């Protein structure tokens, strides 16, 4: 059993500035960090650190950032496909944080958009029935739909985390087996008819709804430092916990996901905040 994550991988650059610039302004700032990001990459990294065979199908550009991303990924156990860079700039998120705690984010999507359906399908060719296709909201509705349709036709289990949210994603629910949404996404997209639905509720916890169970798991209490990446950690460990036990996401998977997300919340950054392989191995052994 293998997890295929079709999504994006980006360079997150965080800049500290005094205040968000007005139109026409020229200001000074300090670059405070550069990290791997993108919801596809985040989720694939954490799933693979749980010991699941994971292929991340995500585009890197033919620039210095593309090389930097690939160097960072050498330390991870996942396989990043395609193996070659795409003739675009690598996708980047520039995150401006101002003194008053506000922020503004600019994200490019050229590389993710250049990853055509044909390229992605070529990398799914060795997938077989029972494997997982996980997608987030960084592709167009058409591409996301086409990939889920293909997956359903080939007996794969489809998992959707529709973030960033697009109202048109609501049409895709009939193609989804497992959905993980936050409260905002749930309100906008009204997921219905999903065999396994998980609604995360930030610091409050998360709810699991299936035909046979309705379970709430409170968040694991922790000193919150930076909640970025909590949702990605939660989804990845929820899925991994269930897959490692050969079940669909259940109450124990929620507990494992909550404990892992609490680790991410207790540290600054995203990639740097994710639980390590050792932490995940220990956490996933609880309750077995």
Judged by DSSP in three states, 180 sits in strand
Report yes or no: 81 and 123 within 8 Å, Cβ to Cβ.
Answer: yes
Q: Judged by CB under 6 A, does residue 205 bind ligand ATP?
A: yes
The response to whether 10 counts as a known ligand-binding position is yes
Q: Judged by CB under 6 A, does residue 261 bind ligand ATP?
A: yes
Distance, CA of 135 to CA of 270 (rounded, Å): 19
The response to whether 130 counts as a known ligand-binding position is no
CB of 216 to ligand ATP, least distance (A): 10
Distance, CA of 238 to CA of 236 (rounded, Å): 6
Q: Judged by CB under 6 A, does residue 227 bind ligand ATP?
A: yes
| DSSP code at position 115 | S
Among 191, 229, 269, 275, binds ligand ATP (CB under 6 A): 229
Report yes or no: 73 and 44 within 8 Å, Cβ to Cβ.
Answer: no
The catalytic residues are 232
Residues 174-193 that bind ligand ATP (CB under 6 A): 182
The response to whether 11 counts as a known ligand-binding position is yes
- Provide the token pair at 71: 């160097």
Q: Judged by CB under 6 A, does residue 50 bind ligand ATP?
A: no
Q: Which is nearer to ligand ATP, 151 or 262 (CB)?
A: 262
H helices present in 9-98, as ranges: 39-49, 64-73
- Provide the token pair at 265: 């919340």
Stretch that binds ligand ATP, among 11-19, 101-109, 145-153, 203-211 (CB under 6 A): 203-211
Among 104, 122, 203, 251, binds ligand ATP (CB under 6 A): 203
Q: Which is nearer to ligand ATP, 136 or 248 (CB)?
A: 136
Report yes or no: 234 and 269 within 8 Å, Cβ to Cβ.
Answer: no
Q: Judged by CB under 6 A, does residue 16 bind ligand ATP?
A: no
The response to whether 137 counts as a known ligand-binding position is no
| Number of residues that this document lists for the chain | 288
Among 206, 237, 240, 273, binds ligand ATP (CB under 6 A): 206
Q: Judged by CB under 6 A, does residue 159 bind ligand ATP?
A: no
Positive or negative torsion for Cα 190, 260, 105, 64: negative
Q: Which of 166, 110, 109, 169 is nearest to 145 (CA)?
A: 169
Report yes or no: 270 and 12 within 8 Å, Cβ to Cβ.
Answer: yes
The response to whether 200 counts as a known ligand-binding position is yes
CB of 107 to ligand ATP, least distance (A): 13
The response to whether 63 counts as a known ligand-binding position is no
H helices present in 129-192, as ranges: 141-153, 183-189
Annotated binding site for ATP: 182, 200-205, 231-232
Binding-site residue set for substrate: 10-12, 38-42, 232
Per CB under 6 A, residues contacting ligand ATP are: 163, 182, 200-203, 205-206, 219-220, 222, 224, 227-232, 234, 258, 261-262, 265
């Amino acid at each position: 059993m293998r997890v295929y994550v079709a999504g994006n991988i980006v360079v997150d650059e965080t800049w500290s500035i005094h205040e968000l610039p007005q139109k026409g302004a020229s200001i000074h700032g300090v670059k405070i960090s550069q990290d791997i990001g993108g919801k596809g990459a985040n989720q694939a990294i954490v799933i693979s650190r749980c010991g699941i065979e994971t292929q991340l199908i995500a585009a890197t550009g033919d620039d210095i950032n593309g090389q930097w991303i690939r160097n960072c990924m050498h330390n991870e156990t996942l396989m990043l496909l395609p193996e070659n860079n795409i003739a675009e700039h690598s996708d980047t998120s520039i995150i401006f944080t101002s003194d008053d705690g506000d922020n503004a984010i600019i994200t490019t999507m050229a590389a993710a958009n250049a990853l055509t359906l044909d390229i992605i399908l070529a990398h799914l060719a060795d997938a077989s029935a029972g494997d997982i296709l996980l997608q987030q909201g960084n592709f167009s509705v058409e591409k996301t739909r086409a990939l889920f349709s293909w997956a359903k036709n080939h007996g794969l289990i489809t998992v959707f985390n529709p973030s960033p949210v697009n109202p048109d994603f609501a049409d895709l629910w009939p193609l989804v087996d497992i959905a993980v949404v936050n409260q905002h996404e749930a309100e906008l997209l009204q997921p219905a008819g999903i065999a396994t639905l998980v609604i995360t509720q930030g610091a409050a916890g998360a709810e699991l709804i299936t035909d046979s169970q309705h379970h709430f798991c409170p968040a694991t209490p922790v000193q919150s430092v930076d909640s970025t990446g909590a949702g990605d950690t939660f989804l990845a460990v929820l899925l991994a916990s269930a897959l490692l036990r050969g079940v669909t996401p259940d109450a124990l998977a929620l507990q494992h996901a909550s404990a892992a997300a609490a680790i991410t919340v207790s540290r600054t950054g995203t990639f740097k905040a994710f639980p390590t392989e050792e932490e995940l191995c220990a956490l996933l052994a609880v309750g077995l």
